[in-house]
Amino acid sequence: MSQQHSATDPASTSPLATAKRSDWWRDAVIYQVYPRSFADSNGDGMGDLEGIRTRLPYLRDLGVDAVWLSPFYASPQADAGYDVADYRAVDPMFGNLLDADALIRDARDLGLRTIVDLVPNHSSDQHEWFKRAIAEGPGSPLRDRYHFRPGKGANGELPPNDWESIFGGPAWTRVEDGEWYLHLFAPEQPDFNWDHPAVGDEFRSILRFWLDMGVDGFRIDVAHGLVKAEGLPDLGSHDQVKLLGNDVMPFFDQDGVHDIYRQWRLILDEYSGERIFVAEAWTPTVERTANYVRPDELHQAFNFQYLSTAWDAKELRGVIDRTLEAMRPVGAPATWVLSNHDVTRHTTRFANPPGLGTQIRTAGDRELGLRRARAATLLMLALPGSAYIYQGEELGLPDVVDLADEVRQDPAYFRGAGQDGFRDGCRVPIPWTREGSSYGFGAGGSWLPQPPEWAELSVEAQTGDPDSTLELYRSALAVRRERPDLGAGDAVEWLRAPEGVLAFRRGQFVCVANTSGESVTTPAYGRLLLASGEVAEADGDAKVAADTTVWWTTA
């Protein structure tokens, strides 16, 4: 038997029903849009807000509950918009505030909620505060809103401490007057000093600005980094913990960040409609992550431990159990995510041997990667909590690993240190149609080249094909919306299963995920709802193909 799809038409079950719930975020499926790579409305080769707006019906019909927009603020684009010059303005490359307002309104009319990125750890060096701080020189009150320090050494020629940037090199840059400023990322991204009251006042105002415009929540960039250890001590006096290639140091995961989020939560709770915060918090353990989602703080935090887990039953069960156990005491939903704009798409990660991390530069076995990615998606969508989908996942897009050096755009690539700088591969604009200079992305080509094989991965090519990845996603999201056993809750009941297989029950629903690399026989737990690959049933048993996830209902 080939993969099975629910008979439900995804478009027939509107997200409006979910949007009216006060706790919609506990089991929401949230779709990440990377604005420059989603849809281009004016033919300049760059995606924009109007392009996103025209494609909102596609997201409604896909069956997601909310749209998370990566930064579209005014920015010099030194780090693809995560260097913000004005938090209350839209960068002209994406449109203007009227476009943002229209997008938010149209999304709401379609039953979709809108979550925007917030970047509170640092600004652009072109932010008005920082420009004035530089112009006014030492002693300027504006310098207290960042981390300016005199250097060490006889003439102040050495950085104030030994901290290193996530992008490589010292985390300090010296200005012409001799002082140094802190930047945990690029030199164009100076870190705010959250001990200064003006910084907190400004961001509370920014929150209200966008809440008043109608956004339903915020994804908080570097949520773990706002507060630095008192005195900015050298790393030599601290234990270092490795986390996915990044050091967790005195500038990450400090307890003081939680006071900030308690203040923010009070603001959010003033607004109707159950607005939410989502934390990008890289922490050493899921238990530390749980601190960010206590009842009076944030609502969700990305589960990076899950994202970095290999396609392996034992490892997956371990991280699932740890996640659910950590979230249960604080009453927060777990979150599950497989890809985003900073890591290699999981279709490519799973095509390569485990242990290579989240930045991979080889295509690997693409057929194997897609098979595992489809299975991983059904497993993720069967778990209790909220799930995140990165644009193009639903098309089974791989990373574009063979981009020529001259077309690359990732700023980290050109620094030659720190992060690998190969994030362009997951940011290539997505294909909508079989034909055209950019496969429907826009009339003027695309800012990163798309491979010719993407024509057959386009929305047009996959729509209506029952074996396509797009139709698998549509069916899975429709089933999830129909069945209260999916998404809600905080636990799974593990069932006995062959080695390399995960099997669990949730009410009248059973999920079996075969990671073993070969076909296995399991009980046929009821009526087959959906499968990511081949399943053959006979005499009460089911032969499940390698790298396949199956959904059954016992009702």
What is the rounded CA–CA span in Å between residue 239 and residue 284? Answer: 12
Torsion sign, CA atoms 330, 333, 336, 340: negative
What is the rounded CA–CA span in Å between residue 90 and residue 71? Answer: 9
Residue type, 493: E
Whole-number Cα distances in Å, 126 to 22, 192, 315, 415, 481? 39, 13, 44, 20, 45
Helix runs in 137-217, H state only: 197-213
Beta bridge partners of 158: 152
How many CA atoms are closer than 13 Å to the CA of 239, on its beta-carbon side? 3
Residue type, 534: E
Active site residue 234: no
Beta bridge partners of 118: 220
Q: Which of 164, 221, 253, 471 is catalytic?
A: 221
Strand duo 241-243 + 246-248: pairing:
antiparallel
Beta bridge partners of 31: 67, 389
Task: Find the distance separating the first CA and the last CA of the chain, reported in whole Å.
Answer: 21
Whole-number Cα distances in Å, 21 to 9, 16, 272, 485, 488? 22, 9, 12, 17, 13
Whole-number Cα distances in Å, 329 to 263, 288, 325? 22, 13, 7
| Coil/strand/helix, residue 212 | helix
Region of residue 246 (left: phi > 0; alpha: psi -120 to 50; beta: else): beta
- Contact at 8 Å (CB) between 477 and 381? yes
Closest CA to 342 of 399, 415, 293: 399
- Contact at 8 Å (CB) between 304 and 285? no
Active site residue 394: no
| Coil/strand/helix, residue 519 | coil
The Cβ of residue 353 has, within 10 Å, a number of other Cβ atoms equal to 10
Q: Which of 270, 367, 435, 499 is catalytic?
A: 270
Strands of 548-553's sheet, edge to edge?
Answer: 493-494, 501-506, 509-514, 548-553, 527-531
Strands of 520-523's sheet, edge to edge?
Answer: 520-523, 541-544, 535-538
- Which residues are identified as catalytic? 221, 270
